[in-house]
Amino acid sequence: MERQTLFQKLKGDLLIVGIILLLAATFFLINVIRDRQSSGEGSVLVIRDGSVTASYPLSEDITVTLWNEERTHYNLLMIRDGSAEISDANCPDKICVRSKAIARDGESIICLPHRLVLSVHSERESDMDAVTG
């Protein structure tokens, strides 16, 4: 009976693990490159009560205070380096302020107390197949 070394026993397993790691790294790099290419394109739509009230390009660095009609609720929209975020708001929970910045087509920030939605819209063909809602 031949005695196999530990490396000989694990050679096939190591090959499979190596291929899986190589595939994972490839998919990760593809996503990073695609994110960098699509970031900063398009515009941010400001939607209040279901109606688009304004649109701001992601290519310009601006800060805008978004007020409701009664001027009692505000959200501070900051667009910088091709992404948009809410940097301040007077809503009670401030979930919109803690949301990550948005830059890709279809991403959104929602402030439920102020009935406000910020959504990135691009003229490019989207990666999404369909949107339900």
pLDDT bucket at 28, cuts 50 / 70 / 90: very high
Report, in angstroms and rounded to the nearest whole number, the Rg of the chain calculated over CA atoms: 23
The per-residue b/e assignment along 77-96, b for 16 or more CB within 10 angstroms, e otherwise, is bebeebbbbbeebebeeeeb
* Per-residue pLDDT at 54: 95
Contacts of 107 (CB under 8 A, 6+ apart): 119, 120
Which residue matches tokens 């899986």?
A: 20
Residue 11 has pLDDT above 90, yes or no: no
d(CA 47, CA 52) in angstroms, rounded, equals 4
CATH number attached to the domain at 43-121: 2.60.320.10
Q: Can you tell me the mean pLDDT for 16-45?
A: 84
Arithmetic mean of pLDDT over the chain:
87
Contacts of 93 (CB under 8 A, 6+ apart): 113
d(CA 100, CA 109) in angstroms, rounded, equals 8
Alpha helices, DSSP H only, in 1-133? 6-38, 95-98
Residues 42 and 29: beta-carbon distance below 8 Å: no
Question: So where are the chain's domains?
Answer: 9-38, 43-121
Phi-psi region of 85 (alpha: psi -120 to 50; beta: other; left: phi over 0): beta
